[in-house]
Amino acid sequence: MTLVASFGEAGARPKEDVRSIPSILVVDDDKDTCDLITTAIGSRSLFVSALQDPREALERLDTEDHQVLLVDINMEGMSGLELCRAALRKRPDLMVIVMTGFGSVEHAVEAMRAGAHDFVTKPAPMDALRMTVERALRHRAMRDELQRLRLRVGQRELPNVIGNSPEIRRLAELVNRVAATDSSILITGESGTGKELVARALHEASGRNGPFLAINCAALPDSLLESELFGYMRGAFTDARTNRAGLFVEAEGGTLFLDEIGETSLSMQAKLLRVLQERRVRPLGSSSEVAYDARIVTATNRDLEQLVHQGTFREDLFYRVNVLHLEVPALRDRTGDILLLAQFFLERAAQRTGKPVTKFGSDVAELLLGYSWPGNVRELENAIERAVALARFDTVTVDDLPPKICEEQPVAQALAGEHDGELVPMHVVEERYVRKVLQVLNGNKTKAAKALGVDRRTLYRMLERLDGTAPADGQPRS
């Protein structure tokens, strides 16, 4: 039997270690076809070998590792359909691509039902065949990554926090370093990034035996927020029928988490400042103060320093709550965690609903990685819960995802060419990147300048050059 190998040019398999080089096995009983394919699609990053005997190819799968099997549908001795079924029984992870003539497409469809990944019609242009093979390799790589992440989904750097990206590891290191202190901690980050989860991780790592109590300062008017935090005595107001200690005291020995502190009024800020400075609280309607021993953690998605400059947040309170600072990264800045988080949410949603949904299709994974996630982890969680609810099979498909995820152009494609392999000038890449950052940040130029690593005036000069326009007053616009 004839074996044709190609590595850049037709020839022997290279001497260096090729375990990381994808291997393609072509099976066609026509020698000329084998020679054409191996010569056309072989490269320094792709090893291609060919056999004319399908039975020999089946035997070779017992001893050799191939990622893609490219087979002709019509062969003597064993059809491509039979080879496809037998090969997948041996190697379920094998990506099989069948080649068929125009008159036998129904055979290719039958092969795909048997487990083949894709098919091409003969005679196939070599560039189209190469792209089909590359898609199959990307599909397999993505599938392998998803399987690996399923095994790692329980491994966490922080309690309650899913992630293994460098950004999360750095955050975990900071949490572990400051957890045992009693200093106030300010957690910042965009909405939906998981600030409360980080606060809980701080509490669990602190060794404190008391409870973790949380309150959203933006959800209550001042009067209710004051009574919830400071407590009250019986008769202090109409509905005060009994005494209540308040969260500062109820969190004794534990942690009190004040979420969205940037939304509090100046009046409430003054009261909070006194309580934090004195470490004592006076319940409403009481003439005496009560000491408390709770670690105070605050959070906001606002820029408190900017609010201080605007006069809507007290400077003294800012320095009181910002003794230690933790920044929770946006999901778009920790893309290495997207699939890990998605798999966690998938398994949790499947367990809650009782549906046997266990995995994502590789095309779904690519869309999840390409989406900008303006709503961060919360948006991802909601998207996966929706997908599980709509899923009809054990695998989440593209049709199960929210439409906006499918419609958004992947970032990599937006920055590079509109088509595979398109090369564009650097100034085009710059323009697309700047516009992409502005799109992700909903047009907020202050945040965009920070993300781009430039000041606002530099950003406006970039926009003026890109658009050929300038602000009418010559000043930066917000």
Q: How many CB atoms lie within 10 A of CB 51?
A: 22
**Can you name the residues that pair with 213 across neighbouring β-strands?**
256
- Please, what CATH class does the domain formed by 331-407 belong to? mainly alpha
Dihedral over alpha carbons 46, 51, 56, 59 (to 10 degrees): 0
**What is the rounded CA–CA span in Å between residue 117 and residue 99?**
12
**What is the rounded CA–CA span in Å between residue 209 and residue 451?**
39
**What is the rounded CA–CA span in Å between residue 25 and residue 5?**
9
Q: How many CB atoms lie within 10 A of CB 206?
A: 20
Closest CA to 188 of 411, 447, 436: 447
Helical spans, DSSP H, in 26-79 = 31-41, 54-60
Angle at 75 between CA 70 and CA 78, to 5 degrees: 95
- 288-307 per-position pLDDT tens digit: 888 999 999 999 999 999 99
Q: For position 323, what pLDDT does the model report?
A: 92
Q: For the chain, which residues make up each domain, given as ranges?
A: 3-152, 166-327, 331-407, 412-467
Buried b (16+ CB within 10 A) or exposed e, 135-166: bbbebbebbeebeebbeebeebbbeebbbbbe
> How many Cα atoms are found within 13 Å in the side-chain-facing hemisphere of 138?
11
Phi, psi of 255 (to 5 degrees): -130, 135
Q: Which fold has domain 3-152?
A: Rossmann fold (3.40.50)
Burial classification of residue 103, based on how many CB atoms lie within 10 Å of its CB (0-12 exposed, 13-18 middle, 19 or more buried): exposed
Q: For position 474, what pLDDT does the model report?
A: 37
Closest CA to 326 of 158, 156, 438: 158
Q: How many CB atoms lie within 10 A of CB 263?
A: 18
In the block, residue with structure tokens 């998938």: 346
Cis peptide before 402 (omega within 30 of 0): no
Q: For position 155, what pLDDT does the model report?
A: 47
Same topology, domains 331-407 and 412-467? Answer is: no
Q: For position 463, what pLDDT does the model report?
A: 81
Q: Which residues make Cβ contacts (< 8 Å) with residue 53, sequence separation at least 6?
A: 1, 29, 77
Q: For position 303, what pLDDT does the model report?
A: 93
**What is the rounded CA–CA span in Å between residue 321 and residue 276?**
8
- 387-429 per-position pLDDT tens digit: 999 998 888 999 999 998 887 654 444 454 444 444 555 566 6
**What is the rounded CA–CA span in Å between residue 172 and residue 178?**
10
- Whether the Cβ atoms of residue 111 and residue 87 lie closer than 8 Å to each other: no
Backbone torsion region of residue 189, taken as left when φ is above 0, otherwise alpha when ψ lies between -120 and 50, otherwise beta: left
Q: Which fold has domain 412-467?
A: Arc Repressor Mutant, subunit A (1.10.10)
**What is the rounded CA–CA span in Å between residue 359 and residue 368?**
13
Helix (H/G/I), strand (E/B), else coil: 379:
helix
CATH for the stretch 166-327: 3.40.50.300
Name the amino acid, one letter, at 441: L
Low-confidence spans in the chain with pLDDT less than 70: 1-20, 44, 102-105, 108, 145-160, 235-238, 240, 408-430, 440, 442, 451, 453, 467-478
